Structure 1
């Protein structure tokens, strides 16, 4: 019954917006083997599986390449959706790929090239510190970040959210120093190997999962000087093309909030670097009226199939 409701509502939205086809893009980072209180916004494999099954039953799932071509030609099918992942976690290969292959669903992975093959992203160092440190508090006053409570599991989870958000906007050198401090506190790391290897990227590409660029080290672009920002943007394209042996035409802005995380300078840099389209984290669906280098996509938060489906319909109706 819910599937019929979702399909019928999606068809009605398509009829109402005839001549202005719309595509909703869902965005993930990683898929978890089991739920984690420290990564509550990330789906575990069971949640991801029912989400993908709902997309396969109720929506027309397109690759980003096909979606952009359909918008250009004015031939977007009703209930059109794309699937994307950011950063380049190996769980996309290990956990998501088998589900996507079984359901014959295309997707795109936007990879931060500097973390490929064994390196660890800065945010995962923070997760490890908050999750494992035995102390009752984490003192990061020297970085201007204050003191955070680790006294209970809920307080640790709240600390992780606050600290991750604050750390995003540190100058790159300060953030590197913070990561070094956390590594000292944690000691031998248990989070190595979270990211894709070159071999995994090649295998994803061979199975129809497109590789896109997401800068080299995932900085907030507005925190960089122009030369450094251009190196991050163009360098990621160059690195990834060398790995998979084919053009990488799509880019996603780290964090993706216009005016806060990137601005008009970086849109121009993405064009200059030779990308064909770029994606933000704005809510809504893409249409032919959007700037090709500032296309919206959002993370699905809902925890039941009906709410998940209705959320996508809301994006399609919103345009």
Structure 2
């Protein structure tokens, strides 16, 4: 029996924990302290294997709806589509026989680089001293050690996140030029790697094409981003793609009920947000909450996981009319 079975019953009263990851690193990185390295990630996977019953998002959501979800059900999810998901995370998942769901921003397949990665790697490469970005409205940043570079990353990324997509991409490109960032930086998965993940029994879901904040683009663009990412993945995999993750994912800030309806109309069966929480039968199936495992100490991670199950309320949209009626 999974450790958390007493906290997360089976059937109609089931609770579903969905964990969010983005990257798994070969070694700890001071500029990416929230991303686990392979040692930390394996500890997390080993714990989840013992404490929960892991499954893919599509399977878990279907069983949540029909009342057949097992006790202590959980999903591991990865957003964006980084190559290290395949090269570093997948071997660990396979070793412990744990399935996972990978949400792919499809325009970055085959050599793409997301704007935030351009900024982080540019700051890593920049010469020590002052990084002058006042011409972009981003201030001046002292770069003297790993801590100051991390602080610069956090500040600049937060400032850029809610710029228009065009302005954000343009500025991140210019920051890369200032720092001498190579133009061939390509941290994302290839088509071959995506297909190999699927052969390992992993699920692939859509995460839009270019990872826009949906609430910041037109409805026509949002609808196209959602629909075209699904279609591209389906061409790559030669199968139906049923799960979706909202970029950035905060309800009523990064996306709205309007976008949840677009997801439903595009033919998806389930969608996940980044709202912190545990899914229940009361949850909106197109706005399932997730849980971010920030803790570096596995005991603290286990404690916080258990407390989340105790406090489960279904997340944003719970007990409201489902998205298909909006």
**Fold shared, TM-score > 0.5 on shorter chain:** yes
Paired residues for 1:19-58 under 5 Å:
19-58=12-51
Match of 2:205 in 1: 212
Aligned to 2:149: 156
Whether the 8 Å contact between 1:25 and 1:297 is mirrored in structure 2 is yes
Alpha-carbon shift at residue 158 of structure 1 (Å)? 0.8
Unpaired runs of 5+ residues, structure 2, are: 313-326
- Which position in structure 1 is the counterpart of 2:276? 283
Matches within 5 A, 1:127-138: 127-138=120-131
SS at match of 1:281: strand
Listed one character per residue, the Cα deviations across residues 48-102 of structure 1 (whole Å, up to 9, x for unaligned) are 0111111112221122122112212222222211100000001010001111111
User: Which residue matches 1:88?
Assistant: 81
How many residues are matched? 312
Q: Deviations over 1:245-304 (max 9, x none)?
A: 111111100111111111122112111211111110111111111111100012101122
Cα distance in 2 for residues equivalent to 1:115 and 1:281: 21
Match of 1:241 in 2: 234
Deviations 1:180-215 (A, max 9, x none): 202321335177231000000001011111110111
Residue aligning to 1:258: 251
Cα offsets for 1:107-149 (capped at 9, x unmatched): 0000000100111111111011111100422222233222222
Summarize the alignment of residues 101-180 of structure 1 with structure 2, pairs less than 5 Å apart. 101-180=94-173
Asked whether the 8 Å contact 2:126–2:180 carries over to 1, the reply is no
In the other structure, the counterpart of 1:296 is 289
Which residue does 1:202 correspond to in 2?
A: 195
Of 8, 16, 37, the match for 1:14: 8
Distance 1:227 1:43 in 2: 37
Q: Residue 276 of structure 2: SS of its match in structure 1?
A: coil
Q: Is the 1:64–1:108 contact (alpha carbons within 8 Å) kept by the matching residues of 2?
A: yes
SS at match of 2:7: helix
* Displacement over 4 Å in runs of 4+: none
**Post-superposition CA distance 1:207-264 (Å, at most 9, x none):** 1111101111111111111111111111111111111111111110011111111112
Q: After superposing the two structures, state which structure 1 stretch, 248-257 or 141-150, moved more.
A: 141-150
Question: Do 2:58 and 2:242's aligned partners in 1 also have CA atoms closer than 8 Å?
Answer: no
Tell me how large the CA RMSD over aligned residues is. Answer: 1.7
Q: TM-score, normalised by structure 2?
A: 0.91
Q: Which has the higher helix share?
A: 1
CA distance in 2, matches of 1:244, 1:288: 30
Q: TM-score, normalised by structure 1?
A: 0.93
CA distance in structure 1 between the partners assigned to 2:188 and 2:39 by the alignment:
21
Give yes or no for contact 1:27–1:84 (8 Å, CA) kept in 2.
yes
- Structure 1: gaps (5+ residues): none
Taking a change above 3 Å as real, the CA distance of residues 61 and 141 of structure 1, as seen in their structure-2 partners, is same
- The answer to whether the 8 A contact 2:205-2:243 is kept is yes
Higher mean Cα deviation, 107-116 or 238-247?
A: 238-247
Tell whether the 8 Å contact from 2:123 to 2:179 is kept in structure 1 after alignment: no
SS in 2 for 1:251: strand
Matched residue SS, 1:39: coil
